Amino acid sequence: MEHDRLNQILDQIQKLEAQIVHELQQKEAEYGYKIHEKKAHFAQEIRLQHRLLKEKLLHYIFRSRFLVLLTTPFIYACLIPIALMDLICSTYQWICFPIYGIPAVRRSDYLAFDRHHLSYLNLIEKINCEYCAYANGILHYVAEISARTEQYWCPIKHFRCVKCTHKRYKNFLNFGDGEGYFRQLDQIRKEFHDLDDGKKARTDRSLVQS
């Protein structure tokens, strides 16, 4: 019963995520842009308004607090381990996932470089935005690789860690279910059929955007 209840909660979370995507798509008309070929196209008058809002580069720099400027090198230093993690984890799944029979994670699903198209952002703001997009996208990408790996090697729920859950977690076995572990492990290692639904959802979103 507890297992079923947990799966219901995880399903509700996924449905809420789908609603978030839908709500974001509804913002197109409100903010004067349309999605075509995965790009946002603003009306001419909206672009002009955005350019008027853009803060001059020198003014942006001079009004920044000293401590903000001082911490900037530390922020961008994180790019090195993130890029290294991107390379290592991508290589890992390319080599190992075919051997395990695990579907590969599509890196492009987790990276969205679109904020540089916003005319109300100056050059520094655009660079900052795209850096954040890369960093957070790669972290989610690596988390999905890790989740699929965990489903293959150790699909067992934790008994108390709520923040340890992820999208693959609903397929995991209950903590302490020894008999279920040895009986269902091989089956759970192949439970990636729901990823086909994810591909369909991406296709549906592409059709909507086009």
CB 82 within 8 A of CB 142: no
* Domain count across the chain: 1
User: Given this model, what pLDDT does residue 88 score?
Assistant: 98
Residue 177 counted as domain residue: yes
CB 155 within 8 A of CB 189: yes
Residue 15 counted as domain residue: no
In a 13 Å sphere around the CA of 148, the CA atoms on its Cβ side amount to 24
User: Given this model, what pLDDT does residue 92 score?
Assistant: 98
In the 3-class helix/strand/coil scheme, how is 81-146 assigned residue by residue?
A: HHHHHHHHHHHHHHHHHHHHCCCCCCHHHHCCCCHHHCCCCCHHHHHHHHHHHHHHHHHHHHHHHH
Tens-level pLDDT at each residue, the chain (210 residues): 555 676 777 677 777 777 766 666 666 555 666 666 666 767 677 777 777 778 887 877 888 888 888 999 999 999 999 999 999 999 999 999 999 999 999 999 999 898 888 888 999 999 999 999 999 999 999 999 999 999 999 999 888 887 888 888 888 988 888 999 999 999 999 999 888 654 543 434 343 343
Residue 25 counted as domain residue: no
User: Given this model, what pLDDT does residue 24 score?
Assistant: 62
In angstroms, the CA 140 to CA 24 distance is: 19
Q: What angle do CA 9, 7, 173 make, to 5 degrees?
A: 140
- Give me 85's structure tokens: 């993690």
Residue 55 counted as domain residue: yes
Residue 59 counted as domain residue: yes
Residue 17 counted as domain residue: no
Residue 203 counted as domain residue: yes
In angstroms, the CA 37 to CA 207 distance is: 10
Please, which residues bridge with residue 41 across strands? 34
Place of tokens 């509700």: 12
User: Given this model, what pLDDT does residue 19 score?
Assistant: 74
Tell me which residue range forms the domain holding 51: 2-6+34-209
Residue 61 counted as domain residue: yes
Q: What angle do CA 189, 169, 164 make, to 5 degrees?
A: 130
